[in-house]
């Protein structure tokens, strides 16, 4: 059972009561991420997420950390493709402090010039870390090979942009997007709803731009490029990517079962063939990412350069065989049980429930009860799984390879001429 209200200023407040816990997890959700950025703004959503922790009108960076530590709470944030979230987990008696700090972070940051220049360096180091982590880098390269719009761009932004952004740039972007109609305040755990609404009205009363509007999601087009980066690494890192399924359709459930069966677990076909039978990879997996009106289904493997061609051929063969030899009764039951079990385990966490209802309200305008989600999972049939698998695997793949022989191996993927970066 959910609680929800829209405050007079337009802020949506949602909650889910969990009577078996003493904790509360509260989140401030902002409907802005790298997808909402123009090319000239790429990285600003993430930069702001960093900067709000560096001081507000009433708290220093150290003060923010000390207040949360004194109650044993957890305070963190993340930026995604379509949203930014600030969240705190505390015991129920410290809920007021959590709401106070979160409102301070989101609505009253100072963007101190000195702190901004220090944090600029931190983000540049974060970007450098991705460059030095081939498994992270290859996924960013794949996104750029899959989309022709803002979903192709990295959440962190390019180093050149991070070096150029000024305090005025951050302030303008923050005022534009951190508005009541573009935000959701969510809570899950042991709380009193009326008391929480009173806290929301008290602390989320004044926004930097009361007349702001919701940020639209930019339209995305699929492209099917092949990109590679020659890098002196111990492994060849390879990714194949296919157009997937948007988050606004029930096909995400058969997609999840397909993902589990082909590469989403230790019993999946790719894991069993490439790691267990051939011993040619430690890490091999598939995953799907679903956005508003867009999605991807991707495959990753890391292997020694000498085994690169063999592993790629095996991945291609296993994808072909899945369509030729449809999901078996045993595979279907296992993949579906894996999905169901993982979902139910997630219900035990106040953090997980806060994220589920907050994200659902922010991006889709509704919250799905656990019973509704389980019913959708139970309704999945082998036929729907194969229908989704055929739709995905019939498309021409995008590809991204990183390694010493990346150029040679990527030529084995049919498609447009490969480009080095």
Question: Is residue 342's pLDDT more than 70?
Answer: yes
5-16, pLDDT tens digit by residue? 999 999 999 999
Mean pLDDT of 276-300: 97
Say what the pLDDT of residue 211 is. Answer: 72
What is the set of active-site residues?
49
Say what the pLDDT of residue 213 is. Answer: 67
What 3-state class would DSSP assign to 339?
Answer: helix
Quote the mean pLDDT of the chain: 95
The residue among 392 and 248 whose pLDDT is bigger is: 392
Mean pLDDT of 319-339: 96
The residue among 419 and 53 whose pLDDT is bigger is: 53
In the chain, what percentage of residues exceed pLDDT 70?
Answer: 99
Query: Do residues 228 and 411 touch, judged by C-beta distance below 8 A?
Result: no
**How many residues are given for the chain?**
421
The phi and psi torsions of 388 (rounded to 5 degrees) equal -65, -45
**What residues contact residue 140 under an 8 Å CB cut-off, 6+ apart?**
130, 154
Query: Do residues 398 and 225 touch, judged by C-beta distance below 8 A?
Result: yes
70-122, pLDDT tens digit by residue? 999 999 999 999 999 999 999 999 999 999 999 999 999 999 999 999 999 99
Question: Which of these ranges, 72-86, 204-218, 221-235, has the smallest mean pLDDT?
Answer: 204-218
Query: Do residues 71 and 91 touch, judged by C-beta distance below 8 A?
Result: yes
What 3-state class would DSSP assign to 417?
Answer: coil
Question: Is residue 217's pLDDT more than 80?
Answer: no
Query: Do residues 22 and 190 touch, judged by C-beta distance below 8 A?
Result: yes
In the chain, what percentage of residues exceed pLDDT 90?
Answer: 91
368-386, pLDDT tens digit by residue? 999 999 999 999 999 999 9
| The pairing of beta strand 226-230 with beta strand 398-403 | parallel
Confidence of residue 206 (pLDDT cuts 50, 70, 90): confident
122-172, pLDDT tens digit by residue? 999 999 999 999 999 999 999 999 999 999 999 999 999 999 999 999 999
231-286, pLDDT tens digit by residue? 999 999 999 999 999 998 999 999 999 999 999 999 999 999 999 999 999 999 99
- d(C-alpha 317, C-alpha 301), whole Å: 14
- Which domains does the chain carry? 2-203 (3.30.830.10), 226-420 (3.30.830.10)
- d(C-alpha 376, C-alpha 359), whole Å: 18
Q: From its phi and psi, is residue 248 left (phi > 0), alpha (psi between -120 and 50) or beta?
A: alpha
Query: Do residues 198 and 165 touch, judged by C-beta distance below 8 A?
Result: no
- d(C-alpha 73, C-alpha 98), whole Å: 8
Mean pLDDT of 321-347: 94
What 3-state class would DSSP assign to 46?
Answer: helix
What 8-state DSSP symbol labels residue 118? H
Query: Do residues 56 and 70 touch, judged by C-beta distance below 8 A?
Result: no
């Amino acid at each position: 059972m959910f609680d929800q209200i829209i405050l007079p200023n337009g802020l949506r407040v949602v909650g889910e009561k969990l009577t078996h816990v003493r904790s509360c997890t509260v989140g401030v959700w902002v409907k802005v991420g790298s997808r909402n950025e123009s090319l000239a703004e790429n990285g600003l959503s993430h930069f702001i997420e960093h900067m709000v922790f560096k001081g507000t009108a009433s708290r220093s960076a150290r003060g923010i950390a000390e207040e949360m530590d004194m109650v044993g709470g957890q305070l963190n944030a993340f930026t995604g493709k379509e949203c930014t979230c600030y969240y705190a987990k505390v015991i129920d008696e410290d809920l007021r402090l959590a709401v106070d700090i979160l409102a301070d972070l989101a609505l009253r940051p100072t963007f101190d010039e000195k702190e901004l220049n220090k944090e600029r360096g931190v983000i540049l180091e974060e970007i450098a870390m991705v460059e030095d982590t081939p498994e992270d880098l290859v996924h960013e390269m794949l996104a750029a090979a899959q989309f022709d719009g803002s979903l192709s761009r990295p959440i962190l932004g390019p180093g050149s942009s991070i070096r150029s952004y000024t305090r005025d740039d951050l302030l303008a972007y923050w005022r534009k997007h951190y508005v009541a109609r573009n935000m959701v305040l969510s809570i899950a755990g042991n709380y009193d709803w009326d008391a929480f609404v009173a806290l929301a009205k008290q602390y989320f009363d004044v926004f930097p731009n009361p007349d702001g509007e919701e940020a639209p999601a930019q339209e995305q087009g699929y492209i099917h490029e092949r990109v590679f980066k020659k890098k002196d690494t111990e492994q060849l890192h390879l990714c194949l990517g296919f157009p997937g399924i948007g988050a606004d359709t029930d096909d995400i459930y058969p997609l999840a079962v397909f993902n589990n069966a082909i590469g989403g677990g230790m019993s999946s076909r790719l894991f069993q063939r490439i790691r267990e039978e051939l011993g040619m990879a430690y890490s091999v997996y598939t995953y799907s990412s679903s956005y508003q009106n867009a999605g991807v289904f991707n495959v990753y493997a890391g292997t020694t350069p000498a085994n690169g061609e063999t592993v790629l051929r095996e991945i291609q063969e296993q994808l072909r065989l899945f369509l030729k030899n449809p999901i078996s009764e045993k595979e279907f039951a296992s993949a579906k049980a894996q999905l169901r079990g993982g979902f139910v385990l997630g219900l035990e966490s106040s953090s997980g429930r806060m994220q589920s209802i907050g994200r659902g309200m922010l991006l889709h305008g509704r919250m799905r009860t656990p019973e509704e989600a389980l019913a959708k999972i139970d309704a999945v049939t082998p036929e729907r799984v194969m229908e989704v698998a055929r739709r995905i695997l019939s498309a021409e793949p995008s590809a991204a390879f990183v390694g010493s022989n990346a150029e040679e191996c990527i030529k084995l993927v049919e498609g447009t001429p490969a480009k080095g970066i």
